[in-house]
Copies of this chain bind each other. A is one copy, B any other.
Amino acid sequence: MTKRDDLTEAATDYALAHGLIGLSLRPLAAELGTSDRMLIYHFGSKDELVAAVLEASNTRSMAYIDAMAPAASLGKAVLALWATYTEHDQVQRCQRMYVEAAALGLLGREPYASSIRASNALWIRTLSAYLERSGVTATRAPGIANLIDATFNGVFLDRPLDDEAESRQIVQDLASALDRPQLGNE
């Protein structure tokens, strides 16, 4: 739509490819065919640009979850979510960037801390909706969504590239743990 929106999408592509932590305006601008001067002009500051990029990235990855077909059980839902994470480069990269942003916001630094809070709230809601579609009750869904999200992020953190088998094993363990018949209360 606006020029700013175009820049946001292009900057998001760049950030997804090159990472968020070392991001600096001049190389980014060069790849977008513009200048740091223009980025500041359109966004006001680097922080606002970063916030826009994080929001765009989150929006992109949520679309993939929303598009998933329901699963037959909770455990199968966990495996299906993991498959979505790993099969789509886009989702994987968005998740990686989320992890970077979260790390940058660990000590409360802005705009990362606020962006992460906002993104996470939406993300949990998206996961919850998928779980509900898969038969999980509305009361249990958010809690389980949080557990799944935390575990997946942790897996991404520890095994960024290699060890795909080991990552899968962890997810499998979580899935089977969650799929056991519910004995206790909630």
Which residues of A approach B to under 8 Å, CB–CB? 18-19, 21, 96, 99-100, 102-108, 113, 116, 120, 143-144, 146-147, 149-155, 157-158, 160-161, 166, 169-170, 173-174, 176-178, 180-181, 183-184
Contact = CB atoms under 8 A, between A and B. Distances in A.
A108 B146 contact: no
24 contacts: A18-B107, A19-B106, A21-B104, A99-B157, A102-B103, A102-B157, A102-B158, A106-B157, A108-B160, A143-B169, A143-B170, A146-B158, A146-B166, A146-B169, A147-B170, A149-B158, A150-B151, A151-B154, A153-B154, A153-B157, A157-B157, A176-B184, A177-B177, A177-B178
A162 B100 CA distance: 19
A180 to B, nearest CB: 5
B102 A106 contact: no
Contacts of A174: 147, 151, 177
Contacts of A180: 177, 180-181, 183-184
Contacts of A18: 107
Nearest to A113: B160
A157 B154 contact: yes
B150 A155 contact: yes
A166 to B, nearest CB: 7
A170 to B, nearest CB: 5
